[in-house]
Amino acid sequence: MTHSLFSRSLAVTAAAALFAVVTSAQEPAQSPAGGSNSGFLTGLRGFEHFHEPLGQPIYFETPFNDTGVRAIYLRHTFGNGSLLAGGHVTVAALQVRAALSERWQFIATKDGYSDISTGALGGDYGWNDLAAGLKYVMHADRENDYVVSGGLRYMAANGDRLKGVINGNVQEWSPFVSTAKGYMPDANGNSRLHTLTNLTLRFPSDSSKGNVVGHWDLHVDYDLNPNSDVVVAPVVEVHGLHYLDDATGANSGLTIGGGDYTNLGSNPKHHFVCWATLGARVELNHNLEAGVCYEFALTNRNDDIWDTRFMVDFLWRF
Q: Which three-class secondary structure state does DSSP give residue 31?
A: coil
CA separation for the pair 200, 216 (Å, rounded): 6
Torsion of CA 12, 18, 19, 22, to 10 degrees: 180
CA separation for the pair 141, 47 (Å, rounded): 10
pLDDT at 81 over 60: yes
pLDDT at 245 over 50: yes
pLDDT at 36 over 90: no
Q: How far is CA 37 from each of CA 26, 32, 119, 139, rounded to the nearest angstrom?
A: 20, 8, 55, 18
pLDDT digits (tens, 9 = 90+) for 225-236: 998 999 999 999
Least confident of 81-90, 107-116, 163-172: 163-172
User: 219 falls in which pLDDT band (50, 70, 90)?
Assistant: very high
Per-residue confidence (pLDDT) for residue 190, from 0 to 100 = 87
Spans of all domains in the chain? 2-118+128-317
User: 249 falls in which pLDDT band (50, 70, 90)?
Assistant: confident
Per-residue confidence (pLDDT) for residue 10, from 0 to 100 = 52
CA separation for the pair 117, 84 (Å, rounded): 9
Per-residue confidence (pLDDT) for residue 32, from 0 to 100 = 43
Q: By the 8 A CB rule, do 231 and 225 touch?
A: yes
pLDDT at 18 over 60: no
pLDDT digits (tens, 9 = 90+) for 109-144: 999 999 999 999 899 999 999 999 999 999 999 999
pLDDT at 5 over 50: no
CA separation for the pair 302, 162 (Å, rounded): 21
Structure-model confidence comparison of residues 16 and 193, the more confident one: 193
Query: Taking all residues of the chain, what is their mean pLDDT, rounded to a whole number?
Result: 89
pLDDT digits (tens, 9 = 90+) for 100-109: 999 999 999 9
Q: By the 8 A CB rule, do 261 and 76 touch?
A: yes
Per-residue confidence (pLDDT) for residue 2, from 0 to 100 = 39
**Mean pLDDT over residues 48-74, rounded?**
97
pLDDT digits (tens, 9 = 90+) for 265-277: 999 999 999 999 9
Q: How far is CA 303 from the centre of its chain?
A: 22
pLDDT digits (tens, 9 = 90+) for 68-78: 999 999 999 99
User: 35 falls in which pLDDT band (50, 70, 90)?
Assistant: very low
The answer as to CATH 3.40.640.10 being correct for domain 2-118+128-317 is no
CA separation for the pair 154, 163 (Å, rounded): 24
Per-residue confidence (pLDDT) for residue 192, from 0 to 100 = 96
